[in-house]
Amino acid sequence: MRTFVLPRHLRVAVASLMLVSASGSYALNTAAILGSVASQDCLEYRVVGICYWLFCTVTGCTVRSSVKVRHYIPDAVVSSYSNTGENPWVEVRPMSMPNPSAQAGGDGTTNEDHENNLARFKNADVIGHPGGTVFNRFVSSSGYFCEGAGTAFMPYLLSTLDTLAWRYNVPEMAYPEALIPGMREIGARSTLNHWGNVYPRGGFLNQTDDHKAAAVVAQRAGDVVTRRGQLHVYQPLLANSRPGYWPAGALKEGDASTGKWQELTPVLLASCTVFPRNGFLTQAQQGDYAWALWRPYACCERRGQVFLGSVDFY
């Protein structure tokens, strides 16, 4: 595969954003999110196989082939934040302002040094990633590319509208995943790197580290929107498969083949990972965090009327 060279204007944008993000103190806005899509690590573009098509005309039929590619797409921005109405992505704050059934937030603490109340609460918003046009220009330099499921600025989940499930854990508090230790957990107690449980998929959890708490809540929100028929107020962030197009399925914690995360704030990173991740975790001063959720898609160019199948190299 050929070496990819990032266009100069994108290199400058990424460099500028990384310098700004080093302090972890910039306001997350749409311009910063647009620049974050230029990440080779998150894109992970690969030619993975060949597709075969039956092409027919009045003179007969032939079999044509096209290259099958697989890469990740930033489908959504997932914000996880303490104070209701204060989404760190400033332009979309009006989407999730407090309402009579969803007000306040924060941690169960009185800020006493001797206190050990670990209860935390996070709101979560899943909103379509705004960087589609910029991303398409970026990925087109690698070759043929797939389309994602997300629509820019589309709200897929706003926890202020999902009050019963998000603030009261109804009905998921009674699900087996919420009651049986070891089911659907991020990390593991055996490895001393346990971040929290996926279920119940609401805003409350016990976690001493604020960054880890926000990441668990973001994973919960991503878990909801990438499945159909969940008992939440949301829109599924899923595309339908079709001949020559294989969209991402359900997100699963710790499994990069279902999706991975790019931190946008408090530190803007140029790489993607899954939770739990190793390394230093920057704590947000106001308890507000956001990640871009990158999801894997595979596709091939349509070169006939009938899709005959595909062969993967690996």
Q: Where do the structural domains in the chain lie, given as residue ranges?
A: 8-46+72-298
Tell me how far apart the alpha carbons of residues 160 and 98 are, in angstroms, rounded to a whole number.
7
Q: What pLDDT is attached to residue 279?
A: 85
Per-residue pLDDT tens for 276-310? 988 889 999 999 999 999 999 999 999 999 999 99
Tell me how far apart the alpha carbons of residues 219 and 122 are, in angstroms, rounded to a whole number.
12
- Stated length of the chain: 314
Q: Which tokens is 122 given?
A: 């996070």
Of 230, 246, 235, 223, nearest to 309 by C-alpha is 246
Listing DSSP states for 201-254 in one string gives: -SSEEE-S-HHHHHHHHHHHHHHHHTSSS-SSS--------BTTEE------TT
200: left (phi > 0), else alpha (psi -120 to 50), else beta? beta
- Whole-number CA gyration radius for the chain: 21
At residue 219, does pLDDT exceed 90? Answer: yes
Mean pLDDT for 235-264 is: 97
Q: What pLDDT is attached to residue 119?
A: 83
Go through 2-29 and write b for each residue having 16 or more CB atoms within 10 A of its CB, e for each that does not.
Answer: eeeeeeeebeebbeebeeebeeeebebe
Residue recorded with tokens 């704050």: 93
Residue of higher predicted confidence among 189 and 195: 195
Confidence bin at 17 (pLDDT 50/70/90):
very low
